[in-house]
């Protein structure tokens, strides 16, 4: 499993929704949008590093160009890391 934390070059939540709502990436397990210090951050959990790399390389660029224009204000800064342990609490009902 692979986790990415990306800071996209978006200025509004509306822009971010347009970017995220346009695809359901292969290998994506979960995605969370947060805001810290006035910047959006997207935390995503992937099946593998290869899935994340393929999304950032082949899918995200064209989406950013379509939503933000051909020259968005920079590419997203991305940090990736391998998930070593996963804990999901049991759901009790």
User: What are 6-51's pLDDT values in tens digits?
Assistant: 998 888 899 888 888 766 899 999 999 999 898 999 999 999 999 9
pLDDT at 33: 94
CA 87 from centroid of its chain's CA atoms: 21
Q: Per residue in 3-18, pLDDT tens? A: 999 998 888 899 888 8
CA gap 4, 26 in Å, rounded: 15
| pTM strictly above 0.95 | no
Q: Under a CB-based contact definition with an 8 Å cutoff, are residues 63 and 19 in contact?
A: yes
59 to each of 3, 44, 63, 84, how far by Cα in Å? 17, 15, 7, 27
> Could you tell me the pLDDT band of residue 73, with boundaries at 50, 70 and 90?
low
């Amino acid at each position: 499993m692979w986790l990415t934390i990306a800071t996209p070059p978006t200025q509004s939540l509306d822009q971010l929704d347009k970017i995220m709502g346009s695809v359901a990436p292969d290998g994506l397990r979960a995605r969370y949008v947060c805001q810290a210090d006035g910047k959006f951050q997207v935390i995503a959990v992937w099946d593998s590093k290869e899935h994340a790399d393929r999304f950032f390389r082949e899918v995200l660029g064209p989406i950013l160009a379509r939503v933000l224009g051909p020259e968005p204000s920079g590419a997203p800064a991305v940090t990736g890391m391998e998930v070593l342990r996963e804990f999901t609490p049991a759901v009790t009902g």
